[in-house]
A and B are shown apart, each in its own frame.
Chain A
């Protein structure tokens, strides 16, 4: 399969999924929007995770960035798509959010924050910040160097602070406020680390697949994938830590205002979904990644990333869908496919151009270049 075929396939799937969702939405708007929001929160991880990766790399350096550079650039460029696909939600806020329904909002203590114009304004604010950060990252392209470091320095430091706050409040706005009585200070870290995982897995997978596809030619040495595998392991550990701590505190306290969120998600079918997430998003990848050969093997690392991506999507469903009477519907996978297909098509389009550009820049013996990268690490 060539990149072109993959891109066409992605575009086809994206359009088909989106159209199917749009038609279905006529009969079941709430189910559609719930699924659409879940897909959105999941796929937004691609640009946001990439943004965080670029900035973390810029501050700490490391040769791993060379491997995923084209993927990171392409991920950042999918950001504008995520403005477009959210716009329908603005017109149907009451479908999703009970705080947008006046009769229910009357009993809420936090309408100063959960209020439609303010919500839209915050959305605009997040994207202004993210677009500026992405533009800085792309224009001053810290990833163009030899991979040892970037040089944005303080800009990336401030960028990460802004990203942390905006991603946190975005998680509060879009997911936590689905149940407006429920609150958790940890929630931003949970959703944020989940999105970071998504972004990381996507760029690793693409870098791994680039070898299989004719476009980029020879691949980099395996120890760079080893580093990426270690980063993935660390992020998964963090994610699991955040998740477990929130769960433990709320479970221990068993307070009326808080435990309801978990009651919906721990019992019945969603309980087994949670077990799947625990196994697929933490236990299995953890046991695989602590074993060094897995991190060096393309196939195994790719399988781990794919597993983490799939369970990451399930995890977002598990967070979003139990809030709706419809629960899990056919919309969920179709919306994920539709939005993911569109994002992937855009991603691959930029990715091919990035690869072509990289090929032009690097003359024949690419091995030399990678060696330089190693000596810098």
Chain B
């Protein structure tokens, strides 16, 4: 049924509870490609839509590990291999003294990696979404909750979705042009 020029069907809700209930219905009805837009994190939607984010923490952990290795071995290479110098009899590999810089670089890699990974995972920055065209969507960052089922969903069915949204107490329903 999907029409190429249609991005999806969106419904506007006035409470977090309503949008959560609607998302649950949509999910139970077998839809998979849908997304909610809310002014603040709604915990119940995490499970329904976002699932567990395992890759992100692991990736950040890896960034941290890389930072650790880079931080330590940079100092090791520069102070032990490339330019060894005896400082008051301390060993060339003064590992306790290398600790602070290693730690800082670990953290900056992890935080920087988290920052980059977050943007890449979210496919941000971007200019806007097709939803921006529907009137009132700007309230998604203020006090309204939107739920949009995308036309690429294999079960996408305009009439059925309208009916479902209405039953879930949607405030408004709009078709989103691609």
Chain A contact residues, CB within 8 Å of chain B: 244, 247-248, 251-252, 254
**Contact between chains at A251 and B89 (CB < 8 Å):** no
* Residue B90 CB within 8 A of the other chain: yes
A sample of 5 cross-chain residue pairs with beta-carbon separation below 8 angstroms, ordered by A number, consists of A247-B96, A248-B100, A252-B97, A254-B89, A254-B90
**Contact between chains at A252 and B96 (CB < 8 Å):** yes
**Contact between chains at A248 and B89 (CB < 8 Å):** no
> Which residues of chain B are within 8 angstroms of A244 by Cβ–Cβ distance?
96, 99
Chain B contact residues, CB within 8 Å of chain A: 88-90, 96-97, 99-100
Residue of B nearest to A248 (CB): B96
**Number of inter-chain CB pairs below 8 Å:** 14
CB distance from A184 to the nearest CB of B (A): 16
Q: How far is the CA of A189 from the CA of B89 in the complex (A)?
A: 30
**Contact between chains at A248 and B99 (CB < 8 Å):** yes
Q: How far is the CA of A313 from the CA of B96 in the complex (A)?
A: 24
> Which residues of chain A are within 8 angstroms of B90 by Cβ–Cβ distance?
254
**Contact between chains at B88 and A251 (CB < 8 Å):** no
CB distance from A240 to the nearest CB of B (A): 11
Q: How far is the CA of A244 from the CA of B89 in the complex (A)?
A: 21
**Contact between chains at A248 and B88 (CB < 8 Å):** no
Main secondary structure of the interface of A (DSSP, over half): helix
Q: How far is the CA of A254 from the CA of B97 in the complex (A)?
A: 12
> Which residues of chain A are within 8 angstroms of B99 by Cβ–Cβ distance?
244, 248
> Which residues of chain A are within 8 angstroms of B96 by Cβ–Cβ distance?
244, 247-248, 251-252
Q: How far is the CA of A251 from the CA of B99 in the complex (A)?
A: 12
CB distance from A297 to the nearest CB of B (A): 17
Residue of A nearest to B90 (CB): A254
Q: How far is the CA of A252 from the CA of B100 in the complex (A)?
A: 13
Residue of B nearest to A252 (CB): B97
> Which residues of chain A are within 8 angstroms of B100 by Cβ–Cβ distance?
248
Interface pairs A-B: 4 shortest CB-CB? A251-B96, A248-B96, A252-B97, A247-B96
Q: How far is the CA of A247 from the CA of B95 in the complex (A)?
A: 12
> Which residues of chain B are within 8 angstroms of A254 by Cβ–Cβ distance?
88-90
Q: How far is the CA of A247 from the CA of B88 in the complex (A)?
A: 17
> Which residues of chain A are within 8 angstroms of B97 by Cβ–Cβ distance?
248, 251-252
Residue of B nearest to A292 (CB): B57
Q: How far is the CA of A247 from the CA of B99 in the complex (A)?
A: 11
> Which residues of chain B are within 8 angstroms of A248 by Cβ–Cβ distance?
96-97, 99-100
> Which residues of chain B are within 8 angstroms of A247 by Cβ–Cβ distance?
96
CB distance from B139 to the nearest CB of A (A): 31
Q: How far is the CA of A120 from the CA of B133 in the complex (A)?
A: 80
| Most chain A CB neighbours (cut-off 10 Å) among B88, B89, B96, B97 | B96
Q: How far is the CA of A254 from the CA of B90 in the complex (A)?
A: 9
CB distance from A343 to the nearest CB of B (A): 36
CB distance from B52 to the nearest CB of A (A): 11
Q: How far is the CA of A248 from the CA of B95 in the complex (A)?
A: 10
Residue of A nearest to B88 (CB): A254
Q: How far is the CA of A248 from the CA of B100 in the complex (A)?
A: 10
Residue of B nearest to A251 (CB): B96
Q: How far is the CA of A251 from the CA of B94 in the complex (A)?
A: 10
Q: How far is the CA of A267 from the CA of B90 in the complex (A)?
A: 16
Q: How far is the CA of A41 from the CA of B88 in the complex (A)?
A: 37
Known interface pairs A248-B97, A248-B100, A254-B89; 11 further A-B residue pairs with C-beta atoms within 8 A, sorted by A's residue number: A244-B96, A244-B99, A247-B96, A248-B96, A248-B99, A251-B96, A251-B97, A252-B96, A252-B97, A254-B88, A254-B90
Residue of B nearest to A244 (CB): B99
Q: How far is the CA of A251 from the CA of B96 in the complex (A)?
A: 8
> Which residues of chain B are within 8 angstroms of A251 by Cβ–Cβ distance?
96-97
Residue of A nearest to B97 (CB): A252
CB distance from B43 to the nearest CB of A (A): 14
CB distance from B177 to the nearest CB of A (A): 42
CB distance from B17 to the nearest CB of A (A): 17
CB distance from B97 to the nearest CB of A (A): 6
CB distance from B75 to the nearest CB of A (A): 14
Q: How far is the CA of A247 from the CA of B97 in the complex (A)?
A: 10
CB distance from B85 to the nearest CB of A (A): 16
Residue of B nearest to A287 (CB): B61
> Which residues of chain A are within 8 angstroms of B88 by Cβ–Cβ distance?
254
CB distance from A278 to the nearest CB of B (A): 12
CB distance from A292 to the nearest CB of B (A): 9
Q: How far is the CA of A244 from the CA of B90 in the complex (A)?
A: 17
